[in-house]
């Protein structure tokens, strides 16, 4: 009886061990399968793209790195470029006359003192005649004044005669000086002979924006003949609303872009903050000097601006550097550039061991520029650009830049694609969608 119990227990233990062993064997494939799925998922998140030299050139790709931008602690403002009044001039004449010649055209650069045109008028001759007559009278009255002064001192003549001579002399001297100033204002040299034609001189240096005259036309005093602007002192007038006014101060940096131009960033610095509202708009004019080269700008350009009111800078990239795919955001970095000697052999893995006939055929195809039977053109050499797609998180976006934070650490010298990222992304999608191999 005891022997029978022992046998039953042994059978039971043996069957239990067999059951446990089979369970363990069933679980092992699941662990291996889960591990494989994780590896495949990780590999699927890493995307690499290869472009040949022609593709790289046609895409217009630009490489760079992160920029430090203040995109959060800023005040948004709109405005326009403006010139101070001392850098603008309307050129006119002081007397009526007729245009005899014109020396400038619109858009021409001009220096201060340069001749713009010549004007002819009989008024010039009349003034010169009066000037010469006054000069002769002044010479006579000066002699008479000296003679009467001596006679008065010797009490030969009455003091009354001396006083009248002195008064006449002083009046004529003032008149003579006035006529001389008038001639100088009209660009006539009083010491030279009489002239009927005088030059019109540029009062400032700058560029001609308008020419409102033609040869033979009659001009009158106060009529603008030419408009000149000097853009070297161009600044920006921004409108800041009441709620942001307390944040804006003199000396703060300003970054703005031209609304109707490309996204080139222009830098400036606030030099003045208005003390009154502009035209009942509840906004105050803030004046900012332009730090960049001003020659590309003209007065009246509309701008969007950011006034830096804090010092919190972030890593930023141009908006075009970030692409969206699969519900996420990515950038591309250049991994390496390779020089390929024979792109056909490298990619297809063909072996050319079939003798001299194949070599001759290949040389003939290369010389003629033929394509192989697979429909692809093969190049003997060229550069190959390898890019890797990196997932990022974006933040604040301002003036064509966006805050970017990579989800993985990038090398300090990473070459980021700033322009052409969408081309690389489309190439990646095309490669994933099939369509054969590329060379």
Residue 349, pLDDT above cutoff 50? no
Question: Which region among 49-58, 118-127, 147-156 has the lowest average model confidence (pLDDT)?
Answer: 147-156
Question: Which region among 8-22, 156-170, 229-243, 424-438 has the lowest average model confidence (pLDDT)?
Answer: 8-22
Residue 415, pLDDT above cutoff 50? yes
| Mean pLDDT score, 265-292 | 86
Name the band, by pLDDT with cuts 50, 70 and 90, for residue 205. very high
Residue 426, pLDDT above cutoff 80? yes
Domains of the chain: 45-69+315-345+377-432 (2.40.420.20), 74-83+234-311 (2.40.30.170), 94-229 (2.40.50.100)
Residue 425: HSE in the Cβ half-sphere, 13 Å Cα cutoff: 19
| Mean pLDDT score, 171-183 | 90
Residue 391, pLDDT above cutoff 50? yes
| Phi/psi-derived region of residue 420, left when phi > 0, alpha when psi is between -120 and 50, beta in every other case | left
Range ranked top by mean pLDDT from 209-223, 368-382, 396-410: 209-223
What share of the chain in percent tops pLDDT 90? 21
For the record, the structure tokens of 182 come out as 């008038």
pLDDT tens-digit readout, 16-47: 544 545 444 444 444 444 444 444 444 445 57
Residue 289: HSE in the Cβ half-sphere, 13 Å Cα cutoff: 9
| Mean pLDDT score, 176-196 | 82
Residue 393, pLDDT above cutoff 70? yes
| CA 212 – CA 117 distance, rounded (Å) | 12
C-beta separation of 420 from 59 below 8 A = yes
| H or E segment to which residue 11 belongs | helix 2-45
The pair phi, psi for residue 237, each rounded to 5°, is -105, 115
| Mean pLDDT score, 389-411 | 85
End-to-end CA distance of the chain: 84
For the record, the structure tokens of 22 come out as 């089979």
Name the band, by pLDDT with cuts 50, 70 and 90, for residue 147. confident
| CA 181 – CA 400 distance, rounded (Å) | 57
| CA 425 – CA 321 distance, rounded (Å) | 11
C-beta separation of 112 from 218 below 8 A = no
Residue 52, pLDDT above cutoff 80? yes
| CA 19 – CA 7 distance, rounded (Å) | 19
Residue 4, pLDDT above cutoff 70? no
Burial of 438 (0-12, 13-18, 19+ CB in 10 A): middle
Residues 6+ apart with CB under 8 A from 119: 93, 97, 98, 99, 100, 197, 198, 200, 219
Q: What is the DSSP string of 132-181?
A: HHHHHHHHHHHHHHHHHHHHHHTTSS-HHHHHHHHHHHHHHHHHHHHHHH
| H or E segment to which residue 63 belongs | strand 62-64
Residue 187, pLDDT above cutoff 50? yes
The rounded mean pLDDT for the chain is 78
- Amino acid 342: pLDDT: 55
């Amino acid at each position: 009886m005891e022997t029978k119990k022992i046998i039953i227990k042994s059978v039971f233990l043996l069957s239990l061990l067999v059951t446990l062993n089979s369970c363990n064997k069933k679980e092992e494939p699941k662990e291996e399968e889960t591990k494989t799925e994780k590896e495949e998922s990780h590999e699927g998140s890493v995307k690499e793209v290869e472009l040949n030299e022609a593709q790289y050139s046609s895409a217009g790709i630009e490489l760079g790195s992160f920029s430090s931008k203040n995109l959060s602690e800023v005040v948004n403002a709109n405005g326009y470029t403006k010139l101070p009044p001392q850098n603008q001039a309307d050129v006119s004449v002081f007397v009526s006359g007729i245009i005899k010649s014109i020396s400038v055209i619109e858009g021409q650069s001009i220096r201060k003192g340069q001749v713009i045109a010549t004007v002819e008028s009989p008024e010039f001759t009349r003034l010169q005649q009066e000037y010469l007559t006054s000069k002769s009278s002044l010479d006579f009255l000066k002699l008479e004044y000296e003679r009467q002064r001596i006679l008065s001192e010797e009490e030969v003549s009455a003091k009354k005669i001396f006083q009248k001579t002195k008064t006449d002399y002083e009046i004529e001297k003032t008149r003579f000086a006035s006529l001389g100033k008038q001639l100088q204002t009209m660009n006539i040299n009083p010491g030279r002979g009489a002239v009927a034609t005088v030059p019109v001189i540029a009062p400032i240096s700058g560029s001609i924006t308008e020419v409102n005259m033609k040869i033979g036309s009659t001009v009158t005093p106060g009529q603008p003949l030419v408009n000149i602007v000097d853009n070297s002192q161009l600044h920006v007038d921004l409108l800041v609303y009441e709620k942001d006014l307390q944040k804006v101060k003199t000396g703060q940096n300003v970054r703005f872009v031209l609304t109707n131009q490309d996204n080139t960033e222009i830098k400036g610095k606030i030099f003045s903050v208005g003390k009154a509202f502009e035209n009942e708009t509840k906004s105050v004019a803030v004046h900012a000097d332009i730090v960049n080269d001003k020659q590309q700008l003209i007065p009246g350009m509309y701008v969007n601006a950011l006034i830096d009111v804090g010092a919190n800078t972030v890593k930023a990239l141009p908006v075009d550097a970030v692409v969206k795919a699969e519900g996420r955001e990515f950038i591309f970095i250049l991994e390496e550039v390779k020089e390929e000697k024979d792109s056909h052999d490298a990619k297809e893995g063909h072996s050319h061991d079939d003798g001299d006939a194949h070599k001759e055929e290949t040389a003939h195809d290369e010389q003629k520029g033929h394509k192989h039977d697979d429909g692809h053109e093969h190049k003997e050499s060229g550069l190959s650009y390898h890019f890797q797609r990196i997932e990022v998180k974006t933040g604040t976006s301002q003036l064509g830049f966006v805050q970017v934070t990579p989800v993985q650490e990038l090398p300090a010298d990473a070459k980021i694609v700033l322009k052409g990222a969408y081309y690389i992304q489309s190439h990646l999608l095309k490669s994933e969608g099939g369509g054969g191999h590329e060379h």
